[in-house]
Amino acid sequence: MDINQLVQDGQNYLMNTYKRIPIAFSEGKGSYLKDTEGNEYLDMVGGLAVNGLGHSHPKIVEAIKNQGEKLLHTSNLYWIENQVKLGKMLVENSFADKAFFANSGAEANEGAIKLARKYAYKKYGEGKNEIIAMSGAFHGRTMATLSITANKKYREGYAPIPAGFKEATFNDIKSVEAAITENTCAIMLEPVQGEGGVTPAEQEFLTAVRKICTEKDILLIFDEVQCGIGRTGKLFAYEDYGVIPDIMTLAKALGAGVPIGAVVATDEVASAFNPGDHGTTFGGNPFSCGVGVAAMETIIEEKLWENAEKIGEYFSNQLQKFVDQYAWVKQVKGKGLIKGLELEIEGAPIVESAFKKGVLINCTSGTVLRFLPALTITEKEVDQVISTLSDIFKEIK
């Protein structure tokens, strides 16, 4: 379909919830996409950290074909082999003892909220139900996750927002301590904030939060929806800090493009859920978990977090040259292959210029260029990004 006609039809028939770039992609391979007119683009957005294995990875394609021919869905009234396999993989490669599967990161975070409150309720009774989240946080767009998402623009028009949530300042342990009361049941945070400007937690901060949670019997929840599954240079971001949470949420790269989310937790915490306490119709079905197994197998067997660490360091060094060269380029942020370049000017025009030059990047928090490429990205592909940005930056007065 002609792109102009597609855009017109989209405006006629779809709700106006996205400010979309007037382009549609028809195919992809590795780190590259082709639009409907045959133009090629280097994809540094990666479906917002979803395409951890790039586009059309042969093992993912094979898993989709094989499972599609066998069985898509049965419901959780029955045992699902692929769900058990994926749960075992997550448990055996993390701190966790049990897993629950959902359809998205927001649903995983909802599940974590419910689990934390149910755990506190069963242990302490009513009242201990407050959850503290961080400034700069983004945990989703459902009603409960909006309550712990810092950017107020996402909440406008949706009042009343569910109660029982408080905000502390990210990387400020005194702010966290001040927010804690006898009713606090959990602290929830992203080890690396994505939407919040690609801002990593400081080691001292995370260590202190863990200590406080242990002393006060408060659960620590890590939202690794965007920064998990190999992206920071470890399989899970918590490993990069040596700080173990009680609950962790995952999604995005877990399904390599197929919608899936997960909540994992220790046995003690997970035991708060009994049959009927939480559930899902589509979550953890044979298809999504089958693809999830293929994605995790590939990432683990190839140790792709090592490539994320190696190429991430190379990428940082190349981006740092812009910091040294231009006064309006402030700093390089992030870990591994969740990378940000903070500017003192608006980033949207640079995103548009890069698009015109065949490189897809993203801007978050207004002034931070965000890069979320496939974990398989090469130095040569990074060089293409750097060359494109260099040409753009030279034109900025």
380 is catalytic: no
Where residue 149 falls among pLDDT bands split at 50, 70, 90?
Answer: confident
Q: What are phi and psi of 328, to 5 degrees?
A: -90, 0
Q: Which two tokens stand for residue 203?
A: 């080691």
Tokens standing for residue 68 = 């599609």
Residue bearing tokens 């149910």: 118
Q: Which of 98, 100, 101, 138 is catalytic?
A: 138
pLDDT for the residue numbered 314: 98
> How does pLDDT run across 102-142, given as a tens digit for each residue?
999 999 999 999 999 999 999 999 999 999 999 999 999 99
- 45, 362 contact by CB (below 8 A): yes
Alpha helices in the chain (DSSP H): 3-13, 46-49, 58-70, 81-92, 105-124, 143-147, 173-179, 203-216, 237-241, 267-270, 286-301, 304-325, 348-356, 379-394
Element (H, E) at 341: strand 338-343
Statement: 71-301 belongs to CATH 3.20.20.70: no
Residue type, 388: T
Question: How would you label 141-179 residue by residue, b for 16+ Cβ within 10 Å and e otherwise?
Answer: ebebbbbbbbeeeeeeeeeeeeeebbbbebbebeebeeb
Domain ranges of the chain: 3-56+303-394, 71-301
Contacts with 184 (C-beta within 8 Å, 6 or more apart), sequence order: 128, 130, 131, 132, 166, 216, 218
Q: Which SS3 state, helix, strand or coil, does residue 119 take?
A: helix
Q: What confidence tens digit (pLDDT) does each residue in 300-353 have?
A: 999 999 999 999 999 999 999 999 999 999 999 999 999 999 999 999 999 999
Share of the chain above pLDDT 90, in %: 96
Q: Amino acid identity of 260?
A: I
pLDDT of residue 237: 98
Q: Is 109 exposed, middle or buried (0-12, 13-18, 19+ CB in 10 A)?
A: buried
CATH for 3-56+303-394 (3.60.20.10, 3.10.129.10, 3.40.50.300, 3.90.1150.10) = 3.90.1150.10
- What's the pLDDT tens digit per position in 219-278? 999 999 999 999 999 999 999 999 999 999 999 999 999 999 999 999 999 999 999 999
Q: Is the pTM of this model over 0.95?
A: yes
Clarify whether 252 is annotated catalytic: yes
Phi, then psi, of 282 in degrees rounded to 5: -90, -25
pLDDT at 259: 98
Q: What pLDDT is attached to residue 54?
A: 98
Of 151 and 196, more confident: 196
Other beta carbons within 10 Å of 22:
9
pLDDT of 397: 66
Task: State what percent of residues in the chain have pLDDT above 70.
Answer: 100
* pLDDT band per the 50, 70, 90 thresholds, residue 1: confident
Cα 266 to Cα 226: distance, rounded to the nearest angstrom: 21
Decide if 138 is catalytic: yes
Instruction: State the pLDDT at residue 151.
Output: 80
For tokens 């089958």, the residue is 290
* Choice among 43, 223, 240, 246 that is catalytic: 223
Catalytic residue among 252, 333, 335, 339: 252
Check residue 153 and give its pLDDT.
Answer: 84
Q: How far apart are CA 348 and CA 232, in angstroms?
A: 25
